[in-house]
């Protein structure tokens, strides 16, 4: 039996549910298809279970894309305040945690329940769990082959997200469909992901695992340069923490990152200046500014004795020590990959899409939204804001 709808949305995540609800409430007959058995799993696990659902300061400069202007239109037409209006309508409590990041007071489940209710309000039909086997176009309609039969629709919205966390059902379906219709896909790679080093290179630092401290970190060049002042966490395999997740989206394999472990403190200058009157040992002195375990571990890893007296060390050596702390240049060998990445960089090339409607200009009726598109936000609620805004843009255009 063929089932016919005005709109089929494939992927019932953040962007897909937003889009389906909006189109449904505008009177379209909408079907939402997802292969997962549990609804909104990425929303559920986000923000430590409380979903960092937007950021009050969300603006185009917080997004990476090979076409940075593309996201402006959707983001300006659906703002964090618009999402808050929706939340208030559903009486969902929220709070600001850090730098404009908004989280649910109760649970991420509240967001899923709200989106589900909005879809119900729009009379959206569900096919879930439902496997999608292919998409074809014939006689002015799209035909989706699924394990629940063929579903036909005048418009199709691809909202299957990126490749991050395959364990909970991430697939490359949107990219495959894009390529099938001759649309370009910008090469994908894991973003917002811990960075790793080969075991031998990391061995001197492996004992520092578990230590966290505020740092400044930078990577990339010119327009692709990133700079963040956030926490770093040492791990057994490398570095993580919000500052590293942020910079990982700007880091390209083979290149270096520069870290300042003591922002605002010129360590070499301080040590050299007060050297003659300083009777202290290096380890004790550094632990004024760094966690004690890090101070000692850092000195050992860089070939200094923690009990060396500062007064006995040549300026050149103190300068070298200061440089390791204020300008630590490291070349990660890789990342923890899609298994741990919060997002996928790259995706359907935005030059193929209308920024007003998210529709492929070459394939009328075929839209791409959310993380599947080559628009990737920083850590801090930006990725959900893109999901809502791009879902809304398509939902209003269908
Ligand atoms: P999303 O991934 O939400 O949904 C895609 C849907 O498509 C899924 O339901 C999936 O089952 C379905 N699907 C996939 N392949 C399919 C196929 N072949 N057939 C049928 N269905 C298919 N962002 C943020 O702003 N704040 C935060 O706090 C966090 N926290 C966070 C934590 C963790 C651990 C991760 C992994 C990610 C985050 N993110 C985040 C990122 C955020 O979750 C992500 O950017 C959005 O969920 C993207 O929304 P989409 O709707 O595009 O994809």
Q: Whose CA is nearest to atom 30 of ligand 1?
A: 46
Domain's final residue, options 284, 316, 335: 335
Q: Whose CA is nearest to atom 2 of ligand 1?
A: 161
Residue 231 and residue 90 share a domain = no
Q: Which pLDDT score is estimated for 8?
A: 98
pLDDT above 70 coverage of the chain, percent: 99
* For residues 331-341, average pLDDT: 97
Determine if ligand 1 sits within 6 Å of the CB of residue 174: no
Beta-strand pair 185-191/149-158: unpaired
User: How far is the centre of ligand 1, averaged over its atoms, from the C-alpha of 42 (Å)?
Assistant: 5
Q: Which residue has the higher pLDDT, 222 or 374?
A: 374
Q: Whose CA is nearest to atom 29 of ligand 1?
A: 46
Residue for token pair 């292919």: 134
Residue 175 and residue 33 share a domain = yes
Question: How confident is residue 1, by pLDDT bands cut at 50, 70 and 90?
Answer: low
Give how many domains the chain has, as a whole number: 2
pTM, entire model: 0.97
Domain's final residue, options 319, 335, 351: 335
Q: Which pLDDT score is estimated for 98?
A: 87
Distances (CA, A) of 10 to 126, 160, 216: 10, 6, 40
Q: Which of 11, 101, 341 to mutate to test the pocket of ligand 1 (most atoms within 8 A of CB)?
A: 11
CATH code (residue 120): 3.50.50.60
pLDDT tens figures, 378-388: 999 999 999 99
Determine if ligand 1 sits within 6 Å of the CB of residue 159: yes
Residue 31 and residue 135 share a domain = yes
User: How far is the centre of ligand 1, averaged over its atoms, from the C-alpha of 45 (Å)?
Assistant: 10
pLDDT tens figures, 19-78: 999 999 999 999 999 999 999 999 999 999 999 999 999 999 999 999 999 999 999 999
3-state SS string for 125-164: EEECCCCEEEEEEECCEEEEEEECEEEEEEEEEECCCCCC
The Cβ of residue 381 has, within 10 Å, a number of other Cβ atoms equal to 29
* For residues 341-357, average pLDDT: 98
pLDDT above 90 coverage of the chain, percent: 95
Q: Kindly tell me if the per-residue pLDDT of 333 is higher than 90.
A: yes
Q: Which pLDDT score is estimated for 276?
A: 80
Give me the chain's average pLDDT, please.
96
Residue 145 and residue 88 share a domain = yes
Q: Whose CA is nearest to atom 32 of ligand 1?
A: 46
Determine if ligand 1 sits within 6 Å of the CB of residue 191: no
Q: Which of 1-5, 133-137, 330-334 has the lowest mean pLDDT?
A: 1-5
Residue 43 and residue 165 share a domain = yes
Q: Which pLDDT score is estimated for 221?
A: 87
Q: Kindly tell me if the per-residue pLDDT of 195 is higher than 80.
A: yes
Residue 305 and residue 213 share a domain = yes
Domain's final residue, options 294, 315, 335: 335
CB 359, CB 353: distance < 8 Å? yes
Q: Which pLDDT score is estimated for 229?
A: 97
* For residues 169-182, average pLDDT: 97
Residue 247 and residue 176 share a domain = no
Residue 202 and residue 152 share a domain = no
Q: Which of 383, 386, 393, 395 to mutate to test the pocket of ligand 1 (most atoms within 8 A of CB)?
A: 383
Question: How confident is residue 224, by pLDDT bands cut at 50, 70 and 90?
Answer: confident
Q: Which pLDDT score is estimated for 223?
A: 81
Q: Kindly tell me if the per-residue pLDDT of 134 is higher than 80.
A: yes
DSSP letter, residue 11: -
Q: Which of 12, 13, 157 to mutate to test the pocket of ligand 1 (most atoms within 8 A of CB)?
A: 13
pLDDT tens figures, 86-121: 999 999 999 999 899 999 999 999 999 999 999 999
Residue 326 and residue 345 share a domain = no
CATH code (residue 297): 2.40.30.10
Determine if ligand 1 sits within 6 Å of the CB of residue 169: yes
CA dihedral 7, 89, 14, 144 (to 10 degrees): -20
Question: How confident is residue 2, by pLDDT bands cut at 50, 70 and 90?
Answer: low
Determine if ligand 1 sits within 6 Å of the CB of residue 171: yes
Residue 38 and residue 66 share a domain = yes
Q: Which of 8, 20, 21, 46 to mutate to test the pocket of ligand 1 (most atoms within 8 A of CB)?
A: 46
Q: Which residue has the higher pLDDT, 336 or 277?
A: 336
Determine if ligand 1 sits within 6 Å of the CB of residue 383: yes
Residue 161 and residue 184 share a domain = yes
Q: Whose CA is nearest to atom 25 of ligand 1?
A: 381
Residue ranges making up the domain that contains 54: 3-190+339-397
User: How far is the centre of ligand 1, averaged over its atoms, from the C-alpha of 261 (Å)?
Assistant: 33
Q: Kindly tell me if the per-residue pLDDT of 141 is higher than 90.
A: yes
Residue 202 and residue 186 share a domain = no
Of 128, 149, 131, nearest in space to 4 by CA: 149
Question: C-alpha angle 280/284/286, rounded to 5°?
Answer: 105
Q: Which of 161, 191, 193 to mutate to test the pocket of ligand 1 (most atoms within 8 A of CB)?
A: 161
User: How far is the centre of ligand 1, averaged over its atoms, from the C-alpha of 388 (Å)?
Assistant: 12
- The pair of structure tokens assigned to 297 is 């571990």
């Amino acid at each position: 039996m063929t089932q016919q709808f005005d709109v089929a949305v494939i992927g019932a995540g953040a962007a897909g549910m937003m889009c389906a609800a909006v189109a449904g409430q505008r009177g379209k007959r909408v079907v939402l298809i997802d292969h997962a058995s549990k609804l909104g799993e990425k929303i559920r696990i986000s923000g430590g279970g409380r979903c960092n659902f937007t950021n009050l300061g969300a603006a185009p400069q917080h997004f990476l894309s090979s076409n940075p202007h593309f996201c402006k239109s959707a983001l300006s037409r659906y703002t964090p305040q618009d999402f808050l209006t929706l939340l208030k309508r559903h009486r969902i409590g929220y709070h600001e945690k850090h730098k404009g990041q908004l989280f649910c007071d109760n649970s991420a489940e509240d967001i899923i329940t709200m989106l589900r209710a909005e879809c119900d309000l729009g009379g959206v039909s569900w096919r879930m769990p439902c496997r999608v086997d292919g998409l074809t176009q014939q006689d002015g309609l799209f035909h989706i082959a699924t394990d629940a039969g063929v579903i036909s629709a005048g418009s199709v919205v691809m909202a299957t997200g990126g490749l991050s966390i395959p364990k909970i059902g991430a697939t490359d379906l949107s990219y495959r469909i894009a390529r099938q219709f001759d649309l370009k896909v910008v090469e994908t790679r894991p973003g917002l992901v811990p960075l790793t080093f080969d075991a031998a290179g990391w061995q001197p630092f492996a004992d520092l695992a578990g230590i966290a401290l505020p740092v400044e970190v930078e990577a990339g060049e010119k327009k692709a340069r990133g700079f963040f002042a956030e926490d770093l966490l040492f791990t057994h395999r490398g570095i993580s923490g919000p500052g590293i997740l942020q910079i990982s989206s700007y880091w390209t394999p083979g290149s270096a990152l520069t870290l300042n472990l003591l922002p605002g403190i010129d360590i070499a200058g301080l040590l050299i200046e007060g050297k003659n009157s300083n009777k202290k040992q290096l380890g004790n002195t550094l632990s004024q500014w760094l966690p004690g375990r890090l101070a000692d571990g850092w000195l050992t890893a860089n070939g200094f004795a923690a009990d060396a007296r500062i007064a006995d060390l040549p300026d050149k050596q103190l300068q070298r020590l200061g440089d390791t702390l204020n300008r630590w240049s490291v070349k990660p060998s890789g990342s923890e990959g899609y298994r741990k990445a919060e997002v996928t960089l790259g995706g359907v090339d935005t030059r193929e899409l209308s920024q007003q409607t998210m529709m492929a200009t070459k394939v009328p009726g075929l839209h791409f939204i959310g993380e599947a598109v080559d628009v990737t936000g920083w850590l801090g609620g930006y990725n959900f804001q893109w999901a809502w805004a791009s879902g809304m843009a398509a939902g209003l255009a269908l």
